[in-house]
Amino acid sequence: MQTLVVVFRTQSRLVEAIDTGRSLCRVAEEAMNPNHPETLKAEAEFASSLRSAGDYKAAEAQYAKTVAKSRQEYADDPEHPEALRYASELAHTYVCIGRLEDAETLALETMFEIVLKWRRKTLGEFHNLTLVSEYDLGMANRECNRLEEARQEFQTVFSQRCIGLGNTHPDTLAAKRALIITRSALSRWDDNLNCDKSLQDVEEEEGTSLLKSSVMTLSEHSDDSSSRTTSSEPSPSPSLSPPESTSVPPKPMSLDDWTSIEKSSRAIALEQESRIGADHPETINTLLWVLAVQLLVGKIVEASET
């Protein structure tokens, strides 16, 4: 029955996944005991279905219950794979509902980096559960303003989910939105966020771009003293996005860049509406991002419609 729950959830048949998961929890607890490993697995699948449906509060409560019971069951082995998985899922749920401080606190105990390292070693670098941990670590890094680390993590998750889940799967769309927001914060927009672009491709392209920028900067600031004059012109207006702390200042984001960002983000929202519904928290989060971009560039009418 656990497999059936996963199948329903993968197919976005969330009502059936929740109903089946709830029944499975009841059967497992009656047939075995509340702390039995199979009961804990059933509860975790039920919680995952609740989270997929956007019922984050109920998912949080269920995961917290499962984590507490797993700590009793695996008291002699706190790094047991299942115990780590349940704790990681609870941390991921904290991220979903915006409790980033709680997620970070939980991360300090055993989470994100430890779980990510373990999952890479035991499950493989691109296993779905490994990517969940990498996504969570990216969210934590972005919240702590470690934007470049977050960008790399989101790029990996997005690229691999495209391969494993397809480019319109809700989890892929969430990773794409996270990558767009992070790249925007870094003033490094690229509207070619397609599924066949690997992290290595991106790094190679950006390395070339950065080299060209360095050459241009050096040529524009040559030491020909005869060409230097004291300028009385006012300083340029600030960029629409925060500066990146690199040796070569990023090119300011243009209005065309932000228009492209809005277009790409709205496409994500439309796909989410068709896949998981207009009222799903992930869809709403994307629309809020679109709204922020519209307000930033002065599209007041469009923002009011959003």
38 domain-assigned: yes
**192: pLDDT confidence band, cut at 50, 70 and 90?**
low
User: What pLDDT is attached to residue 306?
Assistant: 65
Q: How far apart are CA 217 and CA 181, in angstroms?
A: 27
Instruction: Examine residue 109 and state whether it is found in any structural domain, yes or no.
Output: no
The long-range contacts involving 253-261, CB below 8 angstroms and separated by at least 24 positions, are 253/184, 253/187, 253/189, 255/297, 257/189, 258/293, 258/296, 258/297, 259/297, 260/189, 260/191, 261/180, 261/184, 261/189, 261/191, 261/293
Bigger pLDDT: 87 vs 206: 87
Give the pLDDT score at 116. Answer: 83
pLDDT of 284 above 90: yes
Give the Cα separation of 217 and 215 in Å (integer): 5
Res. 200: pLDDT tops 80: no
In-domain check, residue 24 = yes
Structural domains in the chain (count): 1
User: Is 147 part of a structural domain of the chain?
Assistant: no
Return d(Cα 305, Cα 286) in angstroms, integer: 15
Amino acid at 216: M
**Domain presence at residue 96:** no
Confidence of residue 188 (pLDDT cuts 50, 70, 90): confident
Q: Taking residues 74-80, what's their average pLDDT?
A: 82
Domain that includes residue 51, residue range:
1-66
User: CA 5 from chain center: how many Å?
Assistant: 24
**pLDDT > 90 in the chain, percent:** 45
145 located within any domain? no
pLDDT of residue 183: 94
pLDDT of residue 15: 92
Closest C-alpha among 68, 177, 85 to residue 128:
85
Q: Is residue 300 part of a domain?
A: no
pLDDT at residue 222 in the model: 37
pLDDT of residue 110: 58
Q: Does 137 map to a domain?
A: no
Cβ–Cβ < 8 Å for 187, 239: yes
pLDDT band, very low/low/confident/very high, at 205 (cuts 50, 70, 90): low
CA proximity to 87, closest of 101, 70, 74 = 70
pLDDT digits (tens, 9 = 90+) for 221-270: 334 433 333 333 333 333 334 444 444 556 778 889 999 999 999 999 99
Give the list of residues 6+ apart from residue 173 with CB closer than 8 angstroms, or none.
268, 271, 272, 275, 282, 286
Mean pLDDT of the chain: 80
- In tens, the pLDDT along 128-165 reads 989 998 998 888 888 778 899 999 999 999 999 999 99
- Reported as a single tens digit per residue, the pLDDT across 80-121 is 889 888 988 998 898 888 887 777 667 655 567 777 888 888
Predicted confidence band of residue 24 (pLDDT cuts 50, 70, 90): very high
Backbone dihedral angles phi then psi of residue 233, each to the nearest 5 degrees: -70, 145
Q: Which two tokens stand for residue 109?
A: 């105990």
